[in-house]
Amino acid sequence: MAAGSRKAGAVAYQALALGAVTAALWFLISNTAANLEARRIASGFGFLAREAGFEIGESFFLRYSAGDSYLRALAVGLTNTLMVAALGIVGATALGTLIGLARLAHNALLQTLARAYVEFLRNVPLLVQLFFWYALITEALPHPRLAHELLPGLFVTNRGIFFPLPGSVPHLEGFNFTGGAALTPEFAALLIGLVAYTAAFIAEIVRAGVLAVERGQLDAAHALGLTPGQTTRLVVLPQALRVIVPPLTSQYLNLAKNSSLAVAIGFPDLVSIANTTINQTGQAIEGVAIIMAVYLTVSLSISAFMNWYNARVALR
């Protein structure tokens, strides 16, 4: 009887909580709709089909012009965000792994440099780092006529980084390069900043994961005649992944969300284009809702993939 009473009470409390939440949502939505109507502010997502009327400086995969719709403009911003997030995750993982292993090296100089990198980069705000990289690219690098050619066809200038494509090599024409492909200063600064900053946190995660591997595993690997590189690749890292993957997921999520700081240096990501859309249409609620929905979807997708991968590498 007592157990039944407790269960009934729990159900009643849950029903009351659900009712309170429903009432709060109803009040919020109805009050917002009334205020919008009183101020004659349009609502709904019909504006997405209207002509945007503004240009976007950089677009991956999708062609865009000012005559296209707001929906296509936001799609361009989304592809830009996904591109920088994907490249950032790959770059930060590679660099962070190297820095983390360097922190465990027997070479005192290498260990000190890796530690200095971690302590400096993770304690300086990311926004400040983005401003630094953007200023470095636009102010310290030469203009196109004096471009640095790091590799054949690879030119670094204050107008961006130009590199060849199959059948197309960048060449100087007038005051800038044409042909090939290019990374704008805004994209380059954002990508470098995200990679460098996130790698500092990933390095500590990798270091902790490696240190979690039992000493006996290393001794067994040495007894089998494995080289230090083989020991790290074949013995240490596979076992360290079970410790590394869960916190690594959080860093991937942080990197994806931190890409929204692109608006500070002028890169046309989703947030930047959504802000322009809000300013032109006045539909801030819908614009912010789109931003929230996109980042929620991206974050849940990353979490789902990393949870699946974590289950694959977990010890049985």
Q: Same structural domain for residues 95 and 164?
A: yes
Per-residue confidence (pLDDT) for residue 40, from 0 to 100: 64
Report whether pLDDT(306) > 60.
Answer: yes
Give the range of the structural domain holding residue 12, as residue numbers without chain letter.
2-41
What is the reported pTM? Answer: 0.82
Q: Same structural domain for residues 263 and 184?
A: yes
**More confident of the two residues 228 and 210:** 210
Contact yes or no for 306/313 (Cβ under 8 A): no
In a domain, 289, yes or no: no
Q: Same structural domain for residues 35 and 120?
A: no
Q: Same structural domain for residues 12 and 101?
A: no
Percentage with pLDDT > 90 across the chain: 42
Q: Same structural domain for residues 238 and 124?
A: yes
Q: How far is the C-alpha of 203 from the C-alpha of 103, rounded, in Å?
A: 8
Q: Same structural domain for residues 192 and 248?
A: yes
Mean pLDDT of 215-240: 81
**More confident of the two residues 81 and 150:** 81
Q: Same structural domain for residues 94 and 229?
A: yes
Q: Same structural domain for residues 35 and 101?
A: no
Scored b (16 or more CB within 10 A) or e, 220-238 reads: ebeeeebeeeebbeebbbe
Per-residue confidence (pLDDT) for residue 149, from 0 to 100: 78
Report whether pLDDT(186) > 80.
Answer: yes
The domain total for the chain is 2
| pLDDT confidence tier of residue 169, bands split at 50, 70 and 90 | confident
Q: How far is the C-alpha of 194 from the C-alpha of 236, rounded, in Å?
A: 27
In a domain, 141, yes or no: yes
Per-residue confidence (pLDDT) for residue 176, from 0 to 100: 81
Q: Which two tokens stand for residue 149?
A: 């050619």
Phi (first) and psi of residue 307, to 5 degrees: -65, -40
Report whether pLDDT(304) > 60.
Answer: yes
In a domain, 306, yes or no: no
Q: Same structural domain for residues 103 and 213?
A: yes
Q: Same structural domain for residues 27 and 91?
A: no
In a domain, 312, yes or no: no
Mean pLDDT of 112-128: 94
Contact yes or no for 245/309 (Cβ under 8 A): yes
* CATH number for 260: 1.10.3720.10
In a domain, 286, yes or no: no
| pLDDT confidence tier of residue 315, bands split at 50, 70 and 90 | low
Mean pLDDT of 176-181: 80
Q: For the chain, how far is it from start to end, CA to CA, in angstroms? A: 42
3-state secondary structure of 59: coil
Q: How far is the C-alpha of 25 from the C-alpha of 17, rounded, in Å?
A: 12
In a domain, 70, yes or no: no
Q: Same structural domain for residues 112 and 259?
A: yes
Q: How far is the C-alpha of 97 from the C-alpha of 200, rounded, in Å?
A: 9
Domain end position, chosen among 258, 273, 288: 273
Q: Same structural domain for residues 162 and 256?
A: yes
In a domain, 304, yes or no: no
Radius of gyration (C-alpha) of the chain in whole angstroms: 25
In a domain, 265, yes or no: yes
